[in-house]
Structure 1
């Protein structure tokens, strides 16, 4: 199982700059999370997917509301840029393509655009879900259901999904 697999290079052996270069991108455009995790000190436990994911999540979870909101807003709209050929981060592009978001029908694409706009208007950040293992129809269903959440519930859900995305990205790097 990838979660208990050791990461390579081992996080606890890296200086701050090397650590941020290797792991600073698991939270979308937010290397400060990796930097703070490194500054707090890393141990051999952080050399596993599970350990490093927990360490990074603790930093993100402890961040103030403004910093968390900045991370949430760093995420792309689903089936947005990818569907029209614009660049995403390598991780986001692969994740969205893996869920088939680059193969939306015209109707699905329009539905994503409508939901993206409604969600951003309601919550102030893009809809975030760990898409790995999901089909675009499942993502649309989750999108529609979560639009009914209150602001606090949805923000907590988005933060949890960002942490899940980071864990999945680490697992992929460990070969899982």
Structure 2
């Protein structure tokens, strides 16, 4: 279970405590929390969420690509081997990706591979509130995008994931 914090507590944290509390919000990328923490004090949770997104948008394209590539495949090898972060594991389980039948698993595996081969990074989708069918439809639709559009879509989805995670952690 992840801790929940009041905005007052968040604003009073040391830089180190802030990164310890929120360094995992962006998958394997504590630099996002480090950057967002510099904007404290936050007036409200929405400002905090915006600052996390601002840090990502202000990063170099190479750094953004590294962030995108830090995300696991949906229902992929990391899920099978138990290597997902706690947040990713809970999010994927919340939409049933941990309970796919063999045909569904093979479909996800095929789409993950096709997507990675086409774009050079994993398919990212903020799964909270979605169904496996919505995710599969998005996979198929987004495979038609060009590289630039899909890079931007990946960043938008990361921002949504961060929003959901911060909404869960900050009251």
Shared fold, TM over 0.5? yes
Aligned pair partner of 2:143 in 120, 140, 147? 147
Aligned to 1:31: 30
Where 2:83 maps in the other structure, the secondary structure is coil
CA 1:53 to 1:129, structure 2 compared with 1: closer, same or farther past 3 Å? same
Correspondence list, 1:68-87, <5 A: 68-81=64-77, 84-87=80-83
Distance 1:153 1:102 in 2: 29
Aligned to 1:96: 92
CA 1:58 to 1:109, structure 2 compared with 1: closer, same or farther past 3 Å? same
Cα deviation, residue 84, structure 1: 2.3
Residues 22-60 of structure 1, C-alpha deviations (whole Å, 9 max, x = no match):
111110000011112223x31241xx3311110111000
Q: How many aligned residue pairs are there?
A: 167
Aligned to 2:12: 13
Structure 2: unaligned runs, 5 residues or longer: none
8 Å CA contact 1:82, 1:96 repeated in 2: no
Where 1:133 maps in the other structure, the secondary structure is coil
Cα deviation, residue 14, structure 1: 1.2
Give the structure-1-normalised TM-score.
0.89
Runs of 4+ displaced beyond 3 Å: 6-9
Aligned-residue RMSD, C-alpha: 1.6
Aligned pair partner of 2:45 in 49, 61, 83? 49
